[in-house]
Structure 1
Amino acid sequence: MPGPLSPVASDGPLPLVVVPGMLCDAGLWTDVDFPAGHPVHHVELTGPSVGELADTVLSVTTGRFVLVGLSLGAVVGFEVLRRAPGRVAGLCLVSTNAGAPRPEQYEAWRALDESARDGRFDAVVERTLPGMFAQDPAPARLAERYRRMARAVGPRAARAQLAAQATRRDAFAALRTAHCPTAVVCGTRDALCPPGFHRAIAGAVPGARLHELPGAGHLLPWERPGALTSILGDLVTAAQARHRPARVS
């Protein structure tokens, strides 16, 4: 199991570890311009528990990094923060929820898992689609793009992700221990993770900046890629400034 490596100050560019949401892959971030010169590592959500996924995040690079997570990816980020707070140089938490799962969520995940198990994966994709975008029904271009990405993820990984969802726990205690530049980003029309969830997260992280994007839904990297690019640029600049050792004249 990867451990919390001692952070080492360096003038080198901080890497970004980027974690997508459920039924999403690296294609989620195609429209976002990550800060130039910083290595970007994309993580696939294939482990059946949040803990295993956090271990995967911690294994993809050494030393400190900026974690960028959307939805389930941000939930994985909460667990990374619990396990190795010294490794996290910056946090970008997008379209997510730090609370423990609710009974109706467990029920919904079980129903989706049964559909995927029984060969009705297209039904899973269609059931999740309405929550992805600000408009319902979603614009045809975005809806088809989501279907293609979800089908590329496939039923096996989707079932692992549903299993991981069920291992989530309340993350507010971990968030209160964060002492790194943090951006909390949401759409004002996100039906899955509404702005109130994000205000609570931003209130728990010392010094966090809350960004509410008007008229946007859950998949902000597609609906508001320009805004997310700008937010990430500012966050990485702040994290890099803290990462750089003090000069002795």
Structure 2
Amino acid sequence: MTDSAPVVTVSGMLCDATLWDDVRHSFGPRVVDVVPTAPSIAEMAEEVLVASDGPFVLIGLSLGAIVGFEVLRQAPERVTAFAAMSTNAGAPTKAQRTGWATFDAQTRRGGFSEVVRDSILPTMFAAPEPPAHHAGRFTAMAEQVGPEAFRRQLAAQATRTDATASLPEVAVPTLVLCGTADALCPPEFHRRIAGAVPGAELHALPGAGHLLPIERPAEVADHLTDWLTRCNTVEGNACPSS
């Protein structure tokens, strides 16, 4: 990785670029934010690849990291380092596909706000009823993304495939962050990712939920700052172990 490589952030489903506001200071001077809204994971990867010229550091959360796996598959030469948070490299389950179809139908009938408030918000933080300021930030992001983009994100989720087999081919410094109280993507998902990517480092934040940059910004920023600093000072494009 070089000092000139920008950081490209890729937000999760129903999240906009404000997801990163409390940790943005850890990214360095050049940051490009991508809110993926294409109707397939492959097309979302293209959204990332056209967002900047040349190589970049990719930092993704949830759906954003799933898109990151596809970016690494399509164009590994473009990515100089990869941070994956609160995510899952596996293929969708039958239950997930059913849930996404239900959300899509409810949204199509005008129930977008109810889906966000009643079905999705309770899974975003460590507690099903998060503090009001956390709930407010998530619902504000969701309203900014809007129902039509949400439906495209749901369609994209349904195109996911199991990325696990390609993870041993990842040849860049990789950081994996998760919360031990994440209802959507538990630590086991992240142990599998970190175990498959050569040299990856894993940090689990005790008692944290899904939206780590909002719920635990100081710890996330510390991990990112330390990791990016070590990556920038190591030759051969490999981070040292922490």
Superposed displacement of residue 230, structure 1: 1.4
Q: Find the counterpart in structure 1 of residue 182 from structure 2.
A: 190
User: Is the counterpart of residue 43 in structure 1 residue 34 in structure 2?
Assistant: yes
Determine whether 1:180 maps to 2:172: yes
Is 1:130 matched with 2:92? no
Counterpart position of 1:3? none
Choose which of 187, 195, 216 in structure 2 pairs with 1:203.
Answer: 195
Alignment of 1:66-215 (within 5 A): 66-126=57-117, 127-215=119-207
Superposed CA RMSD in Å reads 1.6
Q: 2-side partners of 1:176 and 1:113: how far apart?
A: 34
TM-score normalised by length of structure 2: 0.93
Q: Return the offset for 1:234.
A: 2.2
Q: Which amino acid aligns with 1:43?
A: V
Residues 36 and 71 of structure 1: CA distance in aligned 2, closer, same or farther (over 3 Å): closer
> Secondary structure of 1:67's match?
strand
Query: Which has the larger displacement, 222-231 or 16-25?
Result: 222-231
Cα distance in 2 for residues equivalent to 1:242 and 1:168: 34
**What runs of 5+ residues in structure 1 fail to find an aligned partner?**
1-8
Structure 1 stretches (4+) deviating beyond 4 angstroms?
Answer: 242-245
Structure possessing the higher radius of gyration over alpha carbons: 1
Aligned counterparts of 1:194 and 1:132: Cα–Cα separation in 2? 12
Contact (CA 8 Å) 2:36, 2:47: kept in 1 or not? no
Amino acid at match of 2:168: R
Residue identity opposite 1:220 in structure 2: L
Q: Secondary structure at the match of 1:210?
A: strand
**Shift in CA distance, 243/64, structure 1 to aligned 2, threshold 3 Å:** farther
Contact preservation (8 Å) 1:14, 1:64: yes
CA drift of 1:147 comes to 1.2
The alignment of Structure 1 onto Structure 2 pairs a total of residues equal to 236
Q: 1:102 to 1:134 in 2, by over 3 A?
A: same
- 1:36 and 1:136 map into 2 onto residues whose CA distance is 30
Note if 1:18 corresponds to 2:9: yes
Give the letter for the 2:139 counterpart. R
CA deviation digits over 1:223-249, x for unaligned, max 9? 11111111111222233335789xxxx
- In the alignment, the residues of structure 2 paired with residue 142 and residue 228 of structure 1 have an alpha-carbon distance, to the nearest angstrom, of 16
- Match of residue 61, structure 1, among 41, 52, 55: 52
Q: Report the equivalent of 1:218.
A: 210
In the alignment, the residues of structure 2 paired with residue 130 and residue 100 of structure 1 have an alpha-carbon distance, to the nearest angstrom, of 23
Task: Kindly state the Cα deviation for residue 169 of structure 1 after the two structures are TM-superposed.
Answer: 0.6
SS, match of residue 221 in structure 2: helix
Partner of 2:220, secondary structure, is helix
Among candidates 222, 227, 234, match of residue 235 of structure 1: 227
- Code of the residue aligned with 1:102 in structure 2: it is T
Opposite residue 179 of structure 1, the aligned amino acid is A
CA contact (8 A) 1:181 1:238 kept: no
In structure 2, distance between residues paired with 1:143 and 1:36: 25
C-alpha distance in 1 between matches for 2:34 and 2:14: 13
SS at match of 2:80: strand
Spell out, residue by residue over 1:115-170, the C-alpha distance to the aligned partner (whole angstroms, 9 max, x if none): 11111111110210110000121112211221111111110110010000001111
